[in-house]
Structure 1
């Protein structure tokens, strides 16, 4: 497999599915956030992997209430037509108080098939 280059893109040019998910996640709108995922999607966050709509819904509801924080989209990258990274700066009442997180998306048929959230 050839080495693929990741290049910086304008965050406003991220695919609609990703921007819909990010806006819904920030607004704690679980129902809308779920519409961005495939039925067999996986989310990996904080060392745990959640598979399928029910597990992802439970994860979304938990992260919406676990801490109070603000988030700012600070950058975006694209590797190929199905792989994107959105970088967010979070500040809040979680351990450490601030962090930059990379949301690594894999799309399938214009929906999120995999999401990995990590520093």
Structure 2
């Protein structure tokens, strides 16, 4: 599967539980929407993913990437009820970084 470099970096960072590298995939003023909450800026994004990593140890397995809509479908497995699940990652990319990310089921 052909992923944009920044999306491939995000997947790698997630699978290594590297919260700093994950946050570095985003612009300074990026937004993440997940489970009804919004996280603004790299610091909030890093804190959010670090907490999630420590709680769920979630790994991402890319299944499909729709390049025209910038949507990644990925199987997520970890220490959470119902694992594994398939989630959709809706990206808005800007200058080689992620400007916004919305995660949906």
Q: What's the TM-score once normalised by structure 1's chain length?
A: 0.80
In the alignment, structure 1 residue 87 sits paired with structure 2 residue 73: yes
Offset of residue 76 of structure 1: 0.8
Greater share of strand:
1
Q: Gapped runs of 5+ residues in structure 2?
A: none
Aligned position for 1:42: 31
Q: Gapped runs of 5+ residues in structure 1?
A: 1-10
Larger radius of gyration: 1
* Cα RMSD, aligned residues only: 1.4
Q: 2 CA distance for matches of 1:71 and 1:53?
A: 20
Secondary structure, in 3 states, of the residue corresponding to 1:93? coil
Q: 1 CA distance for matches of 2:37 and 2:30?
A: 14
Q: What's the TM-score once normalised by structure 2's chain length?
A: 0.90
